[in-house]
Amino acid sequence: MTKKNIVIVGYPKSGTTWLSRLVAELVSCPLQGDWGFEDLNAPYKEGLVRESEFQVYKSHHTFDEIEKAPKLEIDKIIYIVRDPRDVVISGIHYFSFLPKLLAEKNTELNKILRKTYNTIVSKKEKKRQMIEAVLIGNTTINPWLKNSWFYHYSSHKNKDVFIVKYEDLLKNSDLESQKILNYIGVEKQNEHIKNSIKNQSFQKRKQLDKNKKDTHQKKILRKGKIGEWEIEFTEKEKEIFKNKLKDLNTPYDF
C-alpha cells in the first residue's frame, strides 16, 4: 500500500522534532526521519511497527526545497512557527559556535575545532551569531540556518500548509492536536489524544532520553519554555528585533 506522507516543517529550534513525534503518535503511524534523506540510522525514526496509511517525516526545508526533495508525493504539510527571539535562546544552547574570526570561514578544520572552541565562546558572542542567523541567515553555525526566520516562515505562508504556533501547542495541546487531526482527516478518541500528548511531553521525553548514550537526543529537548528571551535579551537586542520585524506580517508582536 502506498503511504500518504505528512511532512512536519519548522525553522531550526522551533519544535519540529517534538511536533513530528506528536503527530506520528496522534495518527498512530511511523515517524520515518528526515524528508529527502535516506538514512537508515536516522535518530528521529520511531514507531516503525505502527500500521497506518500515513507516515510522518520532519524537515527544516523552505517550501520550494520540500517540493524539490527526492521523495514521494506529499499529502499534508504542517508548519510549526515559534517566536524567533526564543529560537535564538534555544539555539545558543543547542548549536556549537566558533569565535568570530574563525566562524567567518566555514572550513573543514573549523568543523573539527567547533566542539572544542564552543566551550570558550562567550554567551554574548553566541547570541550575536544566533541573532544574525535568525534575522539574516548564518551558515557558519549550521547549514539549515542559511535563511532568515521570516523568509523561512513566509515561504510556507499562504500555501496549502497547516500552520501551528509553538506557543499555542504548548499552552493548549488538546485543542491544537484536535485541529491537526481534523486537518489530516483522522478521527481519534479524546483518551488517545491525551495519552499521545503525555507520551510526547518534554518531561516524559527527557526522562526517556536521560540514560541514553545519544547526546544529540538529549540536546534536542532542553526546556521548551516560552518567553525566555524577555529575560535573556538586552534592551538593544529587543530593539533590533522590533526594528527588523515589527512592520512585517508575522504571528508575533514586536
**Tell me, what CATH number does 47's domain have?**
3.40.50.300
Of 76, 97, 88, the C-alpha closest to 14 is 88
Extract the C-alpha cell encoding 124.
Answer: 554574548
User: What letter does residue 146 receive in the DSSP assignment?
Assistant: S
Q: In the chain, what percentage of residues exceed pLDDT 90?
A: 64
Range of the domain at 131: 84-148+223-245
Residue type, 82: R
Q: Is residue 204 part of a domain?
A: yes
How many helices (H) and strands (E) are present in the chain, helices listed first? 14, 5
Ramachandran region of residue 205, left (φ > 0), alpha (ψ -120 to 50) or beta?
alpha
Do 143 and 166 belong together in one domain? no
The answer to whether the beta carbons of residues 60 and 16 sit under 8 Å apart is yes
How many independent structural domains does the chain possess? 2
Say if residue 94 is in the same domain as residue 74. no
Pair (142, 232) in one structural domain: yes
pLDDT band for position 119 (50/70/90)?
Answer: confident
Q: Within a domain: residue 214?
A: no
**178 and 66 co-located in one domain:** yes
Are residues 78 and 168 both part of a single domain?
A: yes
Top-confidence residue, 139 or 177: 177
pLDDT band for 89, please (50, 70, 90 cuts): very high
- Domain identity same for 142 and 37: no
Do residues 143 and 159 share a domain?
A: no
pTM: 0.89
Distance, in Å, from the CA atom of 27 to the CA atom of 49, rounded to the nearest integer, reads 13
Determine, yes or no, domain membership for 77: yes
Could you tell me if 127 and 183 lie in one domain? Answer: no
Residues 101, 64: one domain?
no
Do 160 and 54 sit in the same domain of this protein? yes
Residue 192 CB burial class (10 angstroms; 0-12, 13-18, ≥19)? middle
- pLDDT of 117 reads 75
172 has pLDDT over 70: yes
178 located within any domain: yes
Cα separation of 200 and 177, whole Å?
12
The reply to whether 216 falls in a domain is no
Are both 142 and 154 inside the same structural domain?
no
| Phi, psi values for residue 135, rounded to 5° | -90, -25
65 and 157 fall within a common domain = yes
Determine the Cα–Cα distance for residues 242 and 253; give it in Å rounded to an integer. Answer: 8
Give the cell for residue 4.
500518504
Query: Is residue 69, in this structure, part of any structural domain at all?
Result: yes
Q: Is residue 99 part of a domain?
A: yes
User: How is residue 215 annotated by DSSP?
Assistant: H
Angle, in degrees to the nearest 10, between helices 235-245 and 123-135? 10
**251 domain-assigned:** no
Spatial strand order in the sheet of 4-10: 31-34, 54-59, 4-10, 74-81, 162-165
Region 180-187: mean pLDDT is 97
pLDDT of residue 179 exceeding 90: yes
